Amino acid sequence: MNALIALIAVLPLFLIGVYGILARRHFIRIIISVEIAMSAVILTIGTFATVTSSFGEVLGVLVIIIIALEAALGLAIAIEMDRTYKSVDILEIRKLKEETQ
């Protein structure tokens, strides 16, 4: 199978993920978007791994672990936001910040 098709096919997934990171307001929704974009990256790495060598799969595993760690930290930050500031809405926080000025 032609790997270029596989590479192009995952791009909509990456688009949705990056769009979600940039546009969404709920902090947990941003982390979900990260997971979506990460899936596109992993699919790309998997495709390249099957083209070249097993090393790609090592690379993919390490990327999965790093982004899982990042998600864990992000969710901790979300809980802290909810507890201390009673909101996980990014725009609302911005609004509150401007009010305090």
Partner 1 sequence: MDLAVDTNTIIYILAIAWATIFSFLAIKTKDVLYSAVFLVGMYVSAAWALIQIDAWFLALIYLFVNAGGVLVLIIFAAMLTRPTIDIPPTRRISLAALINSSLVVLLIAILLLISRAQLTTSFTSNFSAIIQFLFSNYGISLLILSVAVLSIYLGAIYVASEEK
Partner 2 sequence: MIENYQDFQNFMYYFSPFFLLLVGSLVVSVVSLFKRFLAAKILSYIFLLFSLSITIYFMYVNVNLLFFGNLVAVDNFSLISWIALILGAIFSFASMGDDLIQKETQPLLLLSLAASLFVVSVRDLLLLFLAIETSVFPAYVLVAQFKRDYFSLEATVKFFVFGVLATLLFAYGLAVIYGAVGATSFSSINSFISSSSVNNYVNFIILGLILLLASLAIKSTLVPLHVWAIDTYQGSPTSISVFLSTTSKLTGLFSVALILVTAFRNLFDIEPFIRYLLAILALVTMILPNVAALVQKNIKRLLAYSSVAHAGYMSLVFVFPLETFPILGFYAVTYSIAKSVSFLVTKRISGEGSDSPYNNLMSLFKLDPLAATTFTVALLSLAGIPPFAGFMAKFLLFLNTAFTGNLGLALALVALIMSGISVYYYAYLIRLEVIESNNENISIFKNSEMDAFMIISIIALVILTFFPSYLYYQFPIF
Q: Which of residues 19-78 bind partner 1 (CB under 8 A)?
A: 19-20, 22-29, 31-33, 35-36, 39, 42-43, 45-47, 49-55, 57-58, 60-62, 64-66, 68-69, 71-73, 75-78
20 part of the interface to partner 2, by CB under 8 A: no
Among partner 2, partner 1, none, the one that 94 touches (CB under a kind-dependent 5 to 8 A) is partner 2
In a 10 Å sphere around its CB, with 0-12 CB exposed, 13-18 middle and 19+ buried, how is residue 38 labelled?
Answer: buried
Buried b / exposed e across 25-36, counting CB within 10 Å, b at 16+?
eebbbbbebbeb
Q: What are phi and psi of 89, to 5 degrees?
A: -90, 120
When binding is defined by CB under 8 A, the residue of 19, 69, 79, 82 that contacts partner 2 is 69
Among partner 1, partner 2, none, the one that 4 touches (CB under a kind-dependent 5 to 8 A) is partner 1
